Amino acid sequence: MFLVLCLDTNLRYTTPPKRPTNLHGKEGDAMTDTLTIARPDDWHLHFRDGDLLAETVPATANVFGRAIVMPNLNPPVNTVAQAAEYRERIMAQVPAGVSFEPLMVLYLTDSTPVEEVERAANSDFVHAFKLYPAGATTNSASGVTDPGRITHLYEAMEKHDVPLLVHGEVTDADIDIFDREKVFIDRYLNTIRSQFPALRIVFEHVTTSEGVNFVREANALTAATVTPQHLLMNRNDLLVGGVRPHNYCLPILKRRQHQEAIQKAVIDGHSRFFLGTDSAPHARNKKEAACGCAGCYSARAALPLYATFLEQHNALDKLEGFASHFGADFYRLPRHTDTVTLQRKPWDVPAVIDAAGEPVVPFFAGEQLPWSLG
Ligand code: NCD
Ligand code: ZN
């Protein structure tokens, strides 16, 4: 397994799959042209707000049935009332005839009142709270300054059974950026996990072997989302041959051993690792800049990218669990009964997307993927 994993680190889709695999066919069947799975959900994304919603919402809703909508707007979505308004703005952009449900998330601060947890639990559209350590990523300035000090909120989430979604990085200036995730686990997450055993925790966009092991070894109420970039890339894809600003995201891409740990969890079909694109658009001039923004806009390419990765590892049969079943089960929502079909038809990811008049360079811009979405 380890050797196989090593082959595809710099995935560029030139290697033909070793054995054609069809979810609904038999091993050894002729190369399948279509792949039908239950409609997937995206358990971590950034829709942004305003005019950008006209790009981001259809891009996701045309493929995914639901999405966990990250609350790091400026100002952030702190309350159930703000989430209700944001949800309306999102719903207004869902294309006619498309069924899509945004699952709203509230942004924790040092001063989130404990009553907000109860309000969230009583609403039917807020599905989680997100812990951003202050300063960890885009629009996190009003995040939590000490994740060890909001235990009253964790207690309330545990009591009301509202999941805690974690951006698991410390932000101390003296901690190396590549160690931020591991230090967060050591310093905070192990304690939170053991103090609140009935709290559902999602370790968002896991990037390290320590993060993967944390989830593997923790109880059944512990899961992780996996992004296309952390599955397909390592830090060489960010830095070798020149800085690649469109591969810059947070948590930052790590070294290859970490990538392989993430890959293995997904190839294993581990049910507590599921799809979360972390699709996070920034205008081109904000990425290609002296101080560039973190985030990859992957909404359109994500499902073909995950399929391509799994096929290259002879594990295409793991796509449906990862994309369509495990997250729904963890969030205790019904699995979708309708389907999406991927086609084996080369698809060129656009070099640039016009998002409300702003050019956005998508993840894998200009590359050809072997799978497309019709
Ligand atoms: C996200 C964004 O731009 O909002 N950026 C990113 O690199 N992933 C924030 C986040 O999820 O960390
Ligand atoms: Zn994110």
Q: What is the 3-state secondary structure (H, E, C) of 21-56?
A: CCCCCCCCCCCCCEEEEECCCEEEECCCCHHHHHHH
pLDDT value at residue 332: 98
> Furthest-apart CA pair in the chain: how many Å?
59
Distance separating alpha carbons of residues 108 and 162, to the nearest angstrom: 13
Q: Which ligand sits closest to the CA of 67? A: 2
Q: Which residues line ligand 1 (CB under 6 A)?
A: 46, 72, 137-138, 167, 249-250, 278, 280, 294-295
- Given the residues 278, 317, 348, 354, the one annotated as active site: 278
pLDDT value at residue 374: 77
Residue nearest to atom 1 of ligand 1 (CA): 295
* 32 Cα: distance to centroid of ligand 1 (angstroms): 36
**Which amino acid is located at 72 in the chain?**
N
Its sign, for the CA torsion 131, 218, 6, 26, is: negative
pLDDT value at residue 308: 97
Burial of 287 (0-12, 13-18, 19+ CB in 10 A): buried
44 φ, ψ (degrees, to nearest 5):
-170, 110
Please confirm, yes or no, whether 124 is among the known catalytic residues: no
* 245 Cα: distance to centroid of ligand 2 (angstroms): 17
Burial of 310 (0-12, 13-18, 19+ CB in 10 A): buried
Substitution candidate for ligand 1 out of 249, 252, 253 with most atoms within 8 A of CB: 249
Q: Find where tokens 């890339």 sit.
A: 233
- Torsion angle, alpha carbons of 99, 359, 207, 271, to 10: 20
Partners of residue 72 on adjacent β-strands: none
Distance separating alpha carbons of residues 33 and 13, to the nearest angstrom: 17
Q: From residue 49, how far is each of 74, 86, 188, 224 by CA, in Å?
A: 9, 8, 31, 26
Structure token digits, residue 319:
């796509």
Q: Which ligand sits closest to the CA of 140? A: 1
Which residue from 34, 62, 35, 64 is spatially nearest to 336, judged by alpha carbons? 64
pLDDT value at residue 3: 29
pLDDT value at residue 175: 98
pTM: 0.93
**Which atom of ligand 1 sits closest to the CA of residue 137?**
12
Q: From residue 215, how far is each of 115, 208, 219, 223 by CA, in Å?
A: 29, 11, 8, 6
* 30 Cα: distance to centroid of ligand 2 (angstroms): 39
Task: Report whether 83 contacts 126 (CB < 8 A).
Answer: yes
pLDDT value at residue 31: 62
Substitution candidate for ligand 1 out of 46, 177, 252 with most atoms within 8 A of CB: 46
* 34 Cα: distance to centroid of ligand 1 (angstroms): 32
**Which atom of ligand 1 sits closest to the CA of residue 139?**
4
Q: What residues in the chain have per-residue pLDDT under 70?
A: 1-31
pLDDT value at residue 47: 98
**Which atom of ligand 1 sits closest to the CA of residue 248?**
7
pLDDT value at residue 27: 43
